[in-house]
Amino acid sequence: MSTLRHGLQKLGCLRQLAKPGLQQTQWLPRAPCRASTKGLTTSARKQQPQPETGPEDVTTGSLIAAPPKKPFEGVTHVRPMPVSPSYFSREPHFIDSIVRLNTLLHRYQNLPVVSPDQVPRQLWKTLEGYRVYSGEPVKALQYSQALSIVKRLHQIDPKLMPAEVKDALVDFKRDIDPFSNVPKAIPIDRFGRALGVGRRKTSTARAWVVEGTGEVQVNGKALSEAFGRIHDRESAVWALRSTQRMDKYNVWALVEGGGTTGQAEALTLAIAKGMLAHEPALKPILRQAGCITRDPRAVERKKHGHLKARKMPAWVKR
């Protein structure tokens, strides 16, 4: 049975080869040029294909050229073609980026690179961030391989880095660069005062720090009158005491909101910021003393039906 089937298939192939359309090649006749019509007779010239011309111009008597055909005239079926060859893959945007990076690395791998300590600091997108950016389920291994190529291209000397390399690295950079943030300097006014602002819980403190003899006033009162507890007094001037500047600066402060403990700790941060405007070199000492870092902790609010934030009554009277 298989031999018979094979014979019939072979016979069908021979029949197709025996068709006259497949045996002879259809050659199109070459259009004769204008110079070759000089030796032809009048009847032969009439048989030659004439170019398409328009109507005759009445004023000059010359023929007007026919209007050109439209680009898609006569086309009935059009199929859109994808721009990228990786359009039908699962990660077309990521694959195009990989191909682009490999091409750039092969082209510019001989450019001079800078030392690791001189490479501009840059944060790259995480895997989840790139998935959100591209909308594609990129795998972790593939993304790590792409980042290795990106970091290698980032090591090229910035003065010699081509523009196309910079454009290729934009897709992997984070939108916000924390290394480009510069702290805002606190100015010193014409009276030599530096204004520092500090907060703790719901308390806010504003302190004007100026060089003087060590006087401290809070809301127009002396330090001992503003804070009754010794612990609060020590907290308020801890920035001056930790740097041994008790007799060098005068402080005039305004505090509001919260309790005395929150106001004293807010005043610590405000005085420390004012001192940094006068002496920026004190920052390591103040940071070690915990004076320039805000404490984000807050007391949980009380809930309805509870004795405190979470405490429930032992029994409920009905």
- pLDDT by 10s per residue, the chain, length 318: 566 666 656 656 555 555 554 444 444 455 444 544 454 455 555 555 555 555 555 555 566 666 777 777 777 887 888 888 888 899 999 999 999 999 999 999 999 999 988 999 999 999 999 999 999 999 999 999 999 999 999 999 999 999 999 999 999 999 888 888 887 889 999 999 999 999 999 999 999 999 999 999 999 999 999 999 999 999 999 999 999 999 999 999 999 999 999 999 999 999 999 999 999 999 999 999 999 999 999 989 999 999 999 999 987 666
For strands 216-218 and 221-222, give the pairing: antiparallel
Considering the domain architecture, whether residues 176 and 211 belong to the same structural domain is answered as no
Assess if residue 272 is contained within a domain.
yes
> Which domain, by its residues, includes 148?
92-180
Instruction: Write the CATH number for 211.
Output: 3.30.230.10
Q: Model pTM?
A: 0.53
Considering the domain architecture, whether residues 175 and 143 belong to the same structural domain is answered as yes
Assess if residue 306 is contained within a domain.
no
Assess if residue 58 is contained within a domain.
no
Domain end (from 180, 204, 225)? 180
Tens digits of residue pLDDT in 281-305: 999 999 999 999 999 999 899 999 9
* Residue 279: DSSP 8-state: -
* Residue 209: DSSP 8-state: E
Quote the pLDDT of residue 255: 97
Quote the pLDDT of residue 57: 54
Quote the pLDDT of residue 8: 58
Which of 214, 188, 317, 208 has the alpha carbon at shortest distance from 267? Answer: 208
Considering the domain architecture, whether residues 156 and 127 belong to the same structural domain is answered as yes
Number of domains the chain is built from? 2
Q: Are 267 and 236 in contact (CB under 8 A)?
A: yes
Cβ neighbours, 10 Å, residue 10:
10
Considering the domain architecture, whether residues 211 and 259 belong to the same structural domain is answered as yes
Q: Are 267 and 188 in contact (CB under 8 A)?
A: no
Assess if residue 167 is contained within a domain.
yes
* Tokens coding 71: 């680009």
Domain end (from 180, 208, 226)? 180
Helices 127-134 and 140-154: crossing angle in degrees, nearest 10, is 100
Cα–Cα distance measured from residue 94 to residue 145, given in angstroms and rounded to the nearest whole number: 12
Cα–Cα distance measured from residue 236 to residue 261, given in angstroms and rounded to the nearest whole number: 9
Considering the domain architecture, whether residues 282 and 202 belong to the same structural domain is answered as yes
Quote the pLDDT of residue 284: 94
Considering the domain architecture, whether residues 96 and 170 belong to the same structural domain is answered as yes
